[in-house]
């Protein structure tokens, strides 16, 4: 349509570290916090301990920015803790290039990063820190059953998987999407309009950062 917007997400769930995740996730917001908070605090041009403090402080503020709730602050603090722990680990145990380039090490890094990010999402999504702790207790302390109750049914699971495939294809082929007055563009635009009509929410609206 002629609009040029910065890339805001770059397959963040394929990141191999929390630092790389934040270079891929919500890039516009991460860039803003870097330029207007982290760098004015001294960024990397200060002592090592002060740099770790800057990282934790910025993530705590980013949590508070998302909402006035302890759950958001804990979410931001977790990501700050992840970053600090990773830097301390790499300082004590420097990574070996020969191991870092192996497929199994890369897969391990992606899965570990995904697990850490997903765990932190519990606090982001919960209505309160108390609710988040209850969810964590259910995850790790509740005995497993042979037939657990899933949060979604089989049809919803199929739709979710289909959407994941569509998003993966989009990330791979979005640069080839035509943006000129062609039949392909008209078809895609019509599909977008119908999707908004059938899947959109029009009965009410709520500011996404209503707690801020």
Q: What angle do CA 167, 26, 93 make, to 5 degrees?
A: 100
- Tell me the C-alpha distance between 165 and 170, whole Å: 9
Residue 135, classed as helix, strand or coil, is: helix
A 10 A CB-CB count for 194 gives: 10
Query: Which position among 66, 96, 130, 204 bears the catalytic label?
Result: 66
The size of the chain, in residues, is 212
Taking Cα atoms as reference points, which of 122, 124, 108 lies closest to residue 15? 108
A 10 A CB-CB count for 148 gives: 8
Residue 129: partners with Cβ closer than 8 Å, 6 or more residues away? 69, 70, 71, 74, 123
66 a catalytic residue: yes
Taking Cα atoms as reference points, which of 147, 159, 151, 146 lies closest to residue 135? 151
Catalytic residues: 66
């Amino acid at each position: 349509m002629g609009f040029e917007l910065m890339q805001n997400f770059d397959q963040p769930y394929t990141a191999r570290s929390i630092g790389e995740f934040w270079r891929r996730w919500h890039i516009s917001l991460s860039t803003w916090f870097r330029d207007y908070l982290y760098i004015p605090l001294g960024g990397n041009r200060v002592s090592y301990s002060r740099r770790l403090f800057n990282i934790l402080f910025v993530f705590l503020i980013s949590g508070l920015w998302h909402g006035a709730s302890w759950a958001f602050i804990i979410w931001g603090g977790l990501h700050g803790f992840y970053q600090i722990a990773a830097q301390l680990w790499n300082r004590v145990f420097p990574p070996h290039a020969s191991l870092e380039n192996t497929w199994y090490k890369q897969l391990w890094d992606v899965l570990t990063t995904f697990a850490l990010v997903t765990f932190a999402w519990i606090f982001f999504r919960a209505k309160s820190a108390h609710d988040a702790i209850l969810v964590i207790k259910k995850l790790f302390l509740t005995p497993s059953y042979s037939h657990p109750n899933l949060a979604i049914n089989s049809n919803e699971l199929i739709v979710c998987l289909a959407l994941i495939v569509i998003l993966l294809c989009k990330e791979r082929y979005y640069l080839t999407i035509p943006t000129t007055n062609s039949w392909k563009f008209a078809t895609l635009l019509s599909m977008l309009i119908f999707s908004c009509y059938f899947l959109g929410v029009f009965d009410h609206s709520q500011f996404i950062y209503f707690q801020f």
